[in-house]
Chain A
Amino acid sequence: MCAKNIVRVSGVTKDFDLGKIVVNVLKGIDLEIETGMYISIMGPSGSGKSTLFNMIGGLDKPTSGKVFIDEVDIAQLDAYELAWLRCRKIGYIFQTFNLIPVMTALENVTLPMTFAGTPNDAAVDRGMELLKLVGLDGRHSHKPSELSGGQQQRVAVARALANNPSIILADEPTGNLDLKTGEDVIELLKQMSKERDVTVISATHDYKMLNVSDQVVWIRDGRVDKIQNREELDITTGGLAKAE
């Protein structure tokens, strides 16, 4: 192993106890993700992508198994360290954008910086810079309700980048976007991963993601089906295109 693993998932299972029955959603996932890669977690709806996303992001705890971020077992972190991890290390992007509705685009982007202890002026400067980066200069004083879906997701991307995280976790970032704006957001994520050496992990069933991914992890029924690298992907997508 030459490159460092920023995320390591080891034997993770997740059961949901629904009272009468217990659903095994994740049935033992092992995964190693190298720094700076653009990873897509692909799989049909209901295969457990979001559940895995929540485990990697420290938003939920696995039933068994471990998740390591920078070789630290996140189950060992206390509430403060976990908040710090969510604030500084990881940037989250959601299918439903999840901007704070009462705040402007700029305030949404500066909020994580405030949590990180950045002085207000510096946060505002950086927030404006980030909004410009995602192509939203001039929109900083707009509320989420005054922005289109694609624009909201751009604000979410800017927000995710606020504290220079090492990882961006995106759960179906294009799920609620049309084809064109979806492509734009994917392009933006790819650019971030290239220019800033951010590791992007994106759960998706959007085949547009295949073109930009360095690696695709196929999930089926709570297990890793197969892992494909760039080279193999070129062959498969070629095949897909032919089949269509």
Chain B
Amino acid sequence: MKRLVALPFSKSLEIAYKSIRVRFFRSLITTLSLVLAVSFLCYTQTSNNYAESMLLSGGQQVIEQLQAIGYDVNVGDTSLTASPKQRWLIFLSLLVCIVGIINAQLMSVTERFREIGTMKCLGALDRFIVRIFILEAGFQGLAGAASGAILGAFVAIMSGLFRFGLRSFSLLIWTDIFTTVLFAVLIGTGLSLLGVLYPALLAARMQPVEAMRVDQ
């Protein structure tokens, strides 16, 4: 007889999904820092996309306008890249974000000690626990990063319209903006997964007895 325990993938998905839904408020807080960091990233990048679209369409006047806002452009340039200061800010915000995620996930693991220990008593393997935590983080990451990216892109486009006038809207290169949003979503989801790795391993390695103590 094969002595194997199993947890089908669909079941893991279901458990992870329910777990988030039940602890919705807590998940929201865990995700909030991600939303903010990703929206900042997406805002900056989309603003650059916007300015680039302007640059490609306009002449001397647009270049002067961009220079006035603070872009480092000259006649003949066809692309804009993030300035070192922008990059540094993005890096910092993402760093703060991942530290926040690790912190929140560690708390979530501590909160669920008994639950994890019980699952192990019922026959869960270490990797079931890791899988559930990673799926939860994946859901949270995807939802948080998507809303952050859309928020960031929306704000960037709005402020672009304000800055360059309504007519500029038709000049936007949408594929660039779309790529930026997709990229931001990927980065955000990646961060969420990266942040849960250590807490999930910690949870999985926990011995069932530790969770069973009455006095805790």
Contact = CB atoms under 8 A, between A and B. Distances in A.
Nearest to A87: B123
B166 interface: no
A80 B6 contact: no
A149 to B, nearest CB: 14
Nearest to A169: B121
Given A100-B119, A111-B122, A81 B212 contact: no
B118 A115 contact: no
A79 interface: yes
A86 B121 contact: yes
Contacts of B212: 50, 54, 59, 94, 98, 171
A237 to B, nearest CB: 27
B121 A80 contact: no
Size class of B's contact patch?
A: 20 to 34
Contacts of A99: 118
A200 B117 CA distance: 22
B18 interface: yes
Kindly state the interface size class of chain A when it binds its partner: 20 to 34
Q: Which of B3, B207, B214 has the most CB of A within 10 A?
A: B3
A96 B118 CA distance: 11
Given A59-B209, A60-B207, A116-B5, A98 B123 contact: no
Nearest to A156: B118
B169 to A, nearest CB: 46
B3 A81 contact: yes
A83 interface: yes
A114 interface: yes
A99 B118 CA distance: 8
B4 interface: yes
Given A54-B209, A59-B209, A79-B126, A92 B121 contact: yes
Interface string A108-125: 000110111100100000
A60 B211 CA distance: 12
The residue in B3, B121, B124 that gathers the most chain A C-beta atoms within 10 A of its C-beta is B121
B3 A79 contact: no
A116 B7 CA distance: 8
B22 interface: yes
Contact of B123 (A50, A60, A96, A112): A112
A83 B209 contact: no
Interface in A42-69: 50, 54, 57, 59-60
A126 to B, nearest CB: 15
A205 interface: no
A99 B119 CA distance: 9
Interface string A62-96: 00000000000000000111011011100010111
B22 A102 contact: yes
Nearest to B6: A117
A167 to B, nearest CB: 13
B143 interface: no
A120 to B, nearest CB: 8
Interface in B148-201: none
A87 B214 contact: no
A37 B183 CA distance: 63
B115 interface: yes
Query: Which residue, of B117, B123, B128, has the highest number of chain A Cβ atoms within 10 A?
Result: B123
Contacts of B124: 83, 115
B22 A86 contact: no
B125 A79 contact: yes
Residue from A50, A54, A60, A98 whose CB has the most chain B CB atoms within 10 Å: A98
Contacts of B57: none
Which of B8, B114, B118, B122 has the most C-beta atoms of chain A within 10 angstroms of its own C-beta? B122
B116 to A, nearest CB: 10
Given A80-B3, A112-B123, 10 more contacts: A57-B121, A59-B121, A59-B207, A60-B209, A79-B126, A84-B4, A86-B120, A88-B123, A99-B118, A101-B115
Return the 6 tightest CB-CB contacts between A and B, nearest first. A87-B123, A84-B3, A115-B123, A102-B22, A98-B118, A112-B122
